[in-house]
Structure 1
Amino acid sequence: MSSSNSTNSRDTILDAAAAILTKHGVSNVSIQATATAAGITKAGLIYHFKTRDELLSALLERMVTELDAQIGLPVSDQPQIVSPQAKIAELADFTFDMPASQKQLLANMLVAATAHPHLLPQVQALFSRGYDTLGRSPNPALFQLLSLAMDGLLLLELLQLHKFTPDQRAAMRETLLELARELP
């Protein structure tokens, strides 16, 4: 199997696992169900992922990489100069404009990470990168607090603990952006 075909097969498998996770939750992500959804044999899936845990870990790794790109986090260890106002605006767009399907996938991935503690370090690293990036701003505590507010909002919604009205969400977004614009 060529490297390109191997990468395509791996992506197809991860797409299938993500679809199952989004629609049915982590308990339904199995080797057999994923192979069936990907249109390959169980042996074909096991060629790429020996266990369900390897499959879940690879899926989470891909999601973290996509989230890093989506919210503009640095992908290397090189410190990057970041405009805190621009970063808060990016985070606000991410938080307030997230499609329902992505919310469902993230919620189910959080369930997977808490049910499988070996997956937590990847999620923890994602949050650390975000807060570390804002920690290099002129007023790190305030920018981190604004980010924390958005993380809290998103987690409340992902875990279906509270649903804010559209008017409340719009007012919160504008207030966050206003606070960010007023800072140095």
Structure 2
Amino acid sequence: MTRPTAKERILDSYEEILIEQGPGGITLEAVAAHAGVSKGGLLYHFGSKEALVDGLMERLATLSEEDLEQARSAPEGVVSWYLRTAITDVTQRKPLHRTTMATLRIMLNEPRVSEVVQVYNQKVHDLISEHVDDPLTAELVILVGDGLYLRAALGRDDASPLLNRIDEIVTRIQH
């Protein structure tokens, strides 16, 4: 496994501070210290707090595209994959989940963040709609996925047992 670059460590630290403390905990000094780099090293990669937000949004876009690509090639099908990963991305602390949580912490203060999230949400909607004939059923699939994700993200113990019932959930939604 390759060691993360300084730029990746800085973004990882930015995410972690956002998740743990929210936007109020973000200073360039705090991010640099957490990442184990000097403030000058941080500024070399990210010249401002706005550049950190841009870096987070680039990471979100990249991880989201990778996620959509995995969904398209999933042997169990897009819908089952979508619902299953709504839980497993959280319980396994996947990078997209961490980036999503950090993004949610700054969304209210950063309108451009909402735009990036809306683009990804539309791509998810389009993908599910390609694989579900009825538009209302497609919306229901997305709502169930959102609900499973939220349950898991909130640490509810009743999300994980549903993994064994994903096929049943898909059948009920689509019939």
The reply on whether 1:145 has 2:135 as its aligned counterpart is no
Aligned to 1:178: 171
AA matched with 2:78: K
Aligned to 2:115: 121
Aligned to 2:100: 106
Where does 1:29-178 land on structure 2 (aligned, <5 Å)? Answer: 29-72=26-69, 86-100=77-91, 101=93, 106-137=100-131, 139-141=133-135, 142-155=137-150, 158=153, 160=154, 163=156, 165-166=158-159, 169-170=162-163, 173-178=166-171
Q: Which runs of 5+ in 2 are unaligned?
A: none
Residues 20 and 126 of structure 1, relative CA distance in 2, 3 Å threshold: same
Q: Comparing 95-104 with 128-137, which one deviates more in the overlay?
A: 95-104
Work out which of the residue numbers 25, 29, 46 in structure 2 matches 1:28.
25
| TM superposition score normalised by structure 1 | 0.71
User: % of aligned pairs identical?
Assistant: 19
Q: Secondary structure at the match of 1:139?
A: coil
Structure 1 residue 63 displacement after superposition: 2.7
Structure 1 residue 133 displacement after superposition: 1.6
For 2:159 and 2:143, locate their aligned partners in 1 and report how far apart those are by CA, in whole Å: 20
AA matched with 1:38: A
Residues 11 and 172 of structure 1, relative CA distance in 2, 3 Å threshold: same
Cα RMSD (Å) of the superposition?
Answer: 3.3
Structure 1 residue 170 displacement after superposition: 4.8
Contact 2:152–2:160, Cα closer than 8 Å, also in 1: no
For 1:15 and 1:166, locate their aligned partners in 2 and report how far apart those are by CA, in whole Å: 27
| TM superposition score normalised by structure 2 | 0.75
Deviations 1:61-88 (A, max 9, x none): 20332133234368xxxxxx878x7111
Aligned to 1:3: none
Structure 1 residue 42 displacement after superposition: 1.0
For 1:35 and 1:68, locate their aligned partners in 2 and report how far apart those are by CA, in whole Å: 28
Contact 1:73–1:129, Cα closer than 8 Å, also in 2: no
